[in-house]
Amino acid sequence: MSNTDQNKAVKSLDKKLEKEAAVNKKVNEIYAKDPELHGKSRLQVRAQEIGLALLAVVIGSLGTVGILLPNGLTFGGITGIARIIQKLTGVNYSLIYYILAFIVLVIVWFFLGFREVRKIALMSVSYPTVMMVLELKKVVLIQSDDLFLVAVFCGVVYGISNGLTFKAGFSSGGTDSLAKVIKYRWFPHLGINDITFALNAIIVLANAFVFSLQIALYAVIIIFISMRVGEAVMFGFSDKIVELDIIPGDADALADFIMNELGRGVSSIEVTGEYTGDKRKQLKILCSPRESFLIKRHLAKEDPNSFVSVISIKSVWGRGRGFSDIRSMDN
């Protein structure tokens, strides 16, 4: 490449960077002035969230009707319970799912109130409706004797659906909602993630008795892959542990949320803003990418003026979920 061509390439790159810098500056100004809506109307934001949630419904329904059911597989959550009932009774799957979703909706309304119902109502109604339509149309995406590959693909589809659902700010209205009820009603000292895991473990174990141990193991594969793909959809292919350094408006309220809702530990130090001289509490949390997203959503709604820095961590040696044993020599 000649010097003239190199100069042209450099000038072109400079112009591109200047343009990107101007766009980023404008976006940052919008976010600073409007940390909740980012320059959009509430109607626009809500329409975008609902559209994303409905896309997740279609993808998840295709995964269930087009992949899971034709291959005789099962899953955790309401899907796993519905598969057990379908196997034992022969009743239409989507109808069973409809009834179970409605029961969960009523339970959540009774114990947690209408505010929590709003988070699951859309998914509780749209999921079984779309699945019923797909069942009537007899949609089949994959049917194969290689159940391992089918399970992997099904996990990917579920992961995309779950990731989009979470990004849209909705809940599937399954075992995660029941876990909230159990926590607030009977076991306030336990984390929601731990209760959800226990519920899904029980459901998968029940499926092992109704179907077979092999089918239950495939369900474990689907669950594992869906979790990893869901995190990738929400955060990209990031490290499994992140460090959050947060200067919130209400440090005690945030610490309470992290410890009681997520079951994570929190460290705090007092920091001083040199420009203002204000003394505030800074919180440090080591958590999974999914948990960091939960914290982000909580702050966006409850404390949008918080300042958060996110650091990717290669490894953490110690005791905690996702941490490596400090005694191990290969981490």
CATH code at 264?
A: 3.30.70.120
- Residue 170's pLDDT band, with cuts at 50, 70 and 90, is confident
- Indicate whether 95 and 204 sit together in one domain: yes
Residue 207 falls inside a structural domain:
yes
**What is the tally of structural domains in the chain?**
2
Residue 19 falls inside a structural domain:
no
Q: 58-72, 137-151, 279-293, 317-331: which has the minimum mean pLDDT?
A: 317-331
Q: How far apart are CA 197 and CA 158, in angstroms?
A: 17
Answer yes or no: is pLDDT of 327 > 70: no
- Residue 19's pLDDT band, with cuts at 50, 70 and 90, is low
State the pTM of this model: 0.66
Tell me the C-alpha to C-alpha distance, in Å, between residue 106 and each of 115, 122, 127, 178, 315.
13, 14, 17, 11, 42
* Beta-bridge mates of residue 186: none
Non-local CB neighbours of 152 within 8 Å, separated by 6+ positions: 221, 225
Tell me the C-alpha to C-alpha distance, in Å, between residue 184 and each of 93, 112, 174.
31, 8, 16
- Which conformational region is residue 320 in: left (phi greater than 0), alpha (psi within -120 to 50 degrees), or beta? left
Average pLDDT over residues 182-199: 79
At 292 the pLDDT is: 82
- Indicate whether 188 and 155 sit together in one domain: yes
Residue 24 falls inside a structural domain:
no
| More reliable by pLDDT, 273 or 240 | 273
At 47 the pLDDT is: 80
- Indicate whether 91 and 229 sit together in one domain: yes
Mean pLDDT, rounded, of the chain:
79
- Indicate whether 204 and 287 sit together in one domain: no
Residue 86 falls inside a structural domain:
yes
Answer yes or no: is pLDDT of 20 > 60: no
| More reliable by pLDDT, 326 or 206 | 206
- Indicate whether 104 and 179 sit together in one domain: yes
What domain range is 298 assigned to? 241-313
Answer yes or no: is pLDDT of 321 > 70: no
Tens of pLDDT, residue by residue over 249-260, are 888 888 888 887
Residue 30 falls inside a structural domain:
no
- Residue 149's pLDDT band, with cuts at 50, 70 and 90, is very high
Q: 125-139, 200-214, 230-244, 305-319: which has the minimum mean pLDDT?
A: 230-244
